[in-house]
A = this chain, B = another copy of it.
Amino acid sequence: MTLADVARMAGVSSASASLILNRRAGTRISSETQERVRTAARELGYRPNIAAQSLRTDKSHTVAFVSDFVSTTRFAARMIRGAMKAADELGQVLIVVETEGDVEREARAMHTVLDRQVDGIILAAERARAVDIPDFPDSVNVIMLNAMNDAHPHAILPDELQGGRTAVRELTAAGHRDIGLVGYDFESGIGGSSPSVTLERRMHGIREQMAADRARFIAQGGSRRWEPEEGYRIARAQLRAGPVRAFLCLNDRLAFGAYQAIAEAGLTIPDDISVVSFDDDDISSYLRPGLTTVALPHEAMGRLAVERLYRGSPAEEVLVAMPSIRRGSVAPLSVGARRTG
């Protein structure tokens, strides 16, 4: 079923059919003719051939989502999901390519999708970071998702500054002032696997809010890997060293480890000790009690990427709020409730 078929059935030229079906005609075509064409299109089940459209108009209604990882964690998947929902709403479609961080595959991916005349490219990274990307024509619309690149200022990132503040406030609002920090050490600067702008921002937010609320870290434990084992190790050390009543963990896996250490010490969350963390990983809802965590808003970010490409929004850095997900690992500090025995 082509446009020509529709035109023939309606007894008009395909030019008119095109004008009518694209509603570009204004008043220049009689309403009877318009009706005839629309009816014909409906009866024949006409659907435009997008390859032909794209050839002529240079619009493919297709966006490329090029990511270093799609399946390692659910984070990347959430960004994809957000992007796909927005695409669906806007009549777009997503070509998804995984590069596994391989530079050669990245370059290949860029070309492959450009060959398909995509309307824009979303370059996503699983963990917010600066990425190297191959050169390509300036005409191409590119947006960095959870990633940064000097040549491409259009980027969507989590608002880590606000996120850091929010996490601290979860604890201070419950009365906590003496807090154990798990995963980072301000003195040595150790924390996280690589120097990352977003981590800096998060730590900055944490520091600001701690000062604002007159709270202090009575213990700090840094580690490069942010896995349950390290969380366990650091939390145990802090519990042994002193009377910690609140942990601020830099991600949910660290918090998972901290939970173990807390249980081992015979303490109860949140009555004896409160825990707050970052990311909203799957495990945070599996844990008992559920972990209160400041979420990385990946779905919202993915959605925004598609929408901004579609709208041709200005190339600027966009920060997406990190909401706090309260699940029950924080309780008001009640003096003397702990270790009364």
- Which chain A residues have a beta carbon within 8 Å of chain B's beta carbons? 47-52, 54-55, 60, 62, 70-71, 74, 77-78, 80-81, 84-85, 88, 91, 93-98, 105, 108, 111-117, 228, 286
Known pairs A80-B70, A93-B95, A105-B88; A115 contacts B48 (CB<8 A): yes
Complex Cα gap A98–B228 (Å): 32
Beyond the given pairs A51-B117, A71-B77, A93-B97, 19 more chain A to chain B contacts, judged by CB atoms under 8 angstroms and listed by A's residue number, are A47-B111, A47-B114, A47-B115, A48-B115, A50-B116, A50-B117, A51-B52, A51-B54, A51-B55, A51-B116, A52-B55, A70-B77, A74-B74, A85-B98, A88-B97, A88-B108, A93-B116, A94-B96, A95-B96
* Interface contact B50-A95, CB-CB below 8 Å: no
> When the two chains form the complex, which single residue of B48, B54, B81, B94 contacts A71, counting CB atoms closer than 8 Å?
B81
Known pairs A70-B80, A71-B77, A74-B71; A49 contacts B115 (CB<8 A): yes
* Interface contact A80-B96, CB-CB below 8 Å: yes
Complex Cα gap A117–B116 (Å): 12
* Interface contact B286-A228, CB-CB below 8 Å: yes
Q: Give min CB distance, A111 to chain B, whole Å.
A: 7
Complex Cα gap A221–B115 (Å): 55
Complex Cα gap A119–B85 (Å): 23
A112 cross-chain contacts in B, Cβ below 8 A: 91, 93
List 9 A-B residue pairs with CB atoms under 8 Å apart, sorted by A's residue number: A49-B117, A50-B115, A51-B54, A51-B55, A52-B55, A55-B55, A88-B97, A93-B97, A228-B286
Q: In the complex, what residue of chain B is closest to A60 when comparing beta carbons? A: B51
Complex Cα gap A13–B77 (Å): 47
Majority SS of interface residues in chain A?
A: helix
A228 cross-chain contacts in B, Cβ below 8 A: 286
Q: In the complex, what residue of chain B is closest to A114 when comparing beta carbons? A: B47
Complex Cα gap A62–B98 (Å): 15
* Interface contact A98-B84, CB-CB below 8 Å: yes
Complex Cα gap A117–B228 (Å): 47
A94 cross-chain contacts in B, Cβ below 8 A: 95-97
Complex Cα gap A96–B85 (Å): 11
Known pairs A95-B62, A228-B286; A70 contacts B84 (CB<8 A): yes
Known pairs A55-B52, A93-B95; A116 contacts B80 (CB<8 A): no
Q: Give min CB distance, A45 to chain B, whole Å.
A: 10
Complex Cα gap A113–B286 (Å): 37
A47 cross-chain contacts in B, Cβ below 8 A: 111, 114-115
Q: Give min CB distance, A63 to chain B, whole Å.
A: 10
Complex Cα gap A51–B117 (Å): 7
Q: In the complex, what residue of chain B is closest to A256 when comparing beta carbons? A: B286
Q: In the complex, what residue of chain B is closest to A253 when comparing beta carbons? A: B286
* Interface contact A93-B113, CB-CB below 8 Å: yes
Complex Cα gap A47–B115 (Å): 7
Known pairs A50-B116, A55-B51; A78 contacts B71 (CB<8 A): yes
Q: Give min CB distance, A194 to chain B, whole Å.
A: 23
* Interface contact B84-A96, CB-CB below 8 Å: yes
Complex Cα gap A61–B163 (Å): 43
Complex Cα gap A118–B54 (Å): 14
Complex Cα gap A70–B83 (Å): 12
